[in-house]
């Protein structure tokens, strides 16, 4: 897997080197490198590899999705949103530089991502499908809706359906973009694409629930009570049960689609 991460970092560095304005270049470099787990590119490239598709066909889409992810993290950290000072153990982009540069770096990442989807040698009809899916999953009925719901006030408190909807849009939608993009690039049939869709549902929720459980163990309960999390609405034990069920469902779908190859091992390790 580290070779996939190296490949993504190499391509993202090429992108960064094309940025002419030095201030913008440094802010974007800071947000993209050294980077996080690269989960979304890893999912896309691992699926392609399990299907014996040339990784070159998916590397630009993988980078484009990481650019969208990076934009969302910069905006999420802003004072008007979550107002965080640290991310991935370093100062957030607006703290390290300034708020306007952070907003603009994120704007550039989102905009440039669509050009990255269109790089490379894939047929135009495949590129159009990727771009439409990216817009759908990141846009007004996708990740942005998740953020709006997360920012909303809940005078009567959050219930399980509220939290699930937030997680589906904030977390699952970009994971869905990675998985379905791989399916489109590999020219899977509609039944197989539907299975990938189901997989993104169970894995997307499970990934976020695991994150919530890990945070709940670390943080004090007052902080947890302020957040839209599974442990908050159903408790820690029930959250662990749901995680186990969704992990099992994810592995069953992967077994059915690809057998127990790299994606199976990756998801088993992450969850």
Q: Find out whether the peptide bond into 34 is cis, omega within 30 degrees of 0.
A: yes
Strand partners, 87: 90
Residue 260: how many other CB atoms lie within 10 Å? 12
In whole angstroms, how close is the CB of 131 to ligand GRG at the nearest point?
Answer: 18
178 binds ligand GRG (CB under 6 A): no
In whole angstroms, how close is the CB of 155 to ligand GRG at the nearest point?
Answer: 23
DSSP letter at 172 equals: I
From residue 125 to residue 144, the character string flagging contacts with ligand GRG as x (rule: CB under 6 A) and all else as - is: ------------------xx
Q: How many residues bind ligand GRG (CB under 6 A)?
A: 15
200 binds ligand GRG (CB under 6 A): no
Of positions 49, 60, 208, 250, contacts ligand GRG by CB under 6 A? 208
Of positions 162, 211, 215, 262, contacts ligand GRG by CB under 6 A? 211
Q: Rounded to an integer, what distance in angstroms lies between the CA atom of residue 151 and that of residue 146?
A: 9
Q: Which stretch binds ligand GRG (CB under 6 A): 31-39, 112-120, 121-129, 221-229?
A: 31-39
Q: Where are the beta strands (DSSP E) in the chain?
A: 86-87, 90-91
For residue 187, give the 3-state DSSP assignment. Answer: coil
Site for ligand GRG in 154-173 (CB under 6 A): 170-171
Q: List the one residue out of 114, 136, 135, 123 whose CA is nearest residue 185.
A: 123
37 binds ligand GRG (CB under 6 A): yes
Dihedral sign for Cα 40, 43, 49, 51, please. Answer: negative
84 binds ligand GRG (CB under 6 A): no
In whole angstroms, how close is the CB of 5 to ligand GRG at the nearest point?
Answer: 11
CA distances from 73 to 27, 77, 115, 124, 189 (A): 13, 6, 20, 30, 33
In whole angstroms, how close is the CB of 147 to ligand GRG at the nearest point?
Answer: 4
212 binds ligand GRG (CB under 6 A): no
243 binds ligand GRG (CB under 6 A): no
Judge contact between 27 and 93, C-beta under 8 A. Answer: yes
The binding site for ligand GRG (CB under 6 A) comprises 36-37, 39, 72-73, 75-76, 88, 143-144, 147, 170-171, 208, 211
């Amino acid at each position: 897997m580290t070779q996939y991460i190296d490949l993504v970092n190499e391509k993202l560095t090429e992108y960064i080197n094309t940025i002419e304005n030095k201030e913008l270049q440094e802010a974007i470099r800071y947000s993209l490198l050294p980077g996080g787990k690269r989960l979304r590119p890893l999912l896309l490239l691992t699926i392609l590899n399990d299907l014996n598709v040339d990784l070159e066909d998916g590397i630009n889409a993988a980078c484009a999705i990481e650019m969208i992810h990076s934009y969302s993290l910069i905006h999420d950290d802003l004072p008007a949103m979550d107002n965080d000072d640290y991310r991935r153990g370093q100062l957030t982009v607006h703290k390290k530089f300034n708020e306007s540069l952070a907003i603009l770096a994120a704007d550039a990442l989102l905009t440039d991502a669509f050009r990255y989807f269109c790089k490379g040698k894939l047929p135009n009809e495949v590129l159009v499908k990727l771009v439409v899916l990216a817009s759908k999953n990141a846009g007004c009925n996708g990740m942005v809706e998740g953020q709006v719901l997360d920012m909303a006030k809940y005078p009567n408190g959050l219930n399980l359906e509220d939290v699930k909807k937030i997680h589906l849009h904030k977390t699952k939608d970009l994971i869905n973009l990675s998985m379905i993009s791989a399916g489109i690039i590999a020219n899977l049939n509609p039944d197989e694409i539907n299975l990938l869709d189901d997989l993104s549902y169970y894995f997307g929720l499970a990934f976020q629930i695991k994150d919530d459980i890990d945070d709940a163990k670390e943080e004090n309960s007052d902080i947890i009570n302020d957040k839209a999390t599974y442990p908050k609405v159903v408790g820690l034990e029930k959250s662990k049960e749901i995680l186990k069920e969704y992990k099992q469902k994810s592995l069953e779908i992967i077994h059915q689609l690809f057998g127990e190859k790299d994606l199976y091992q990756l998801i088993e390790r992450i969850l």
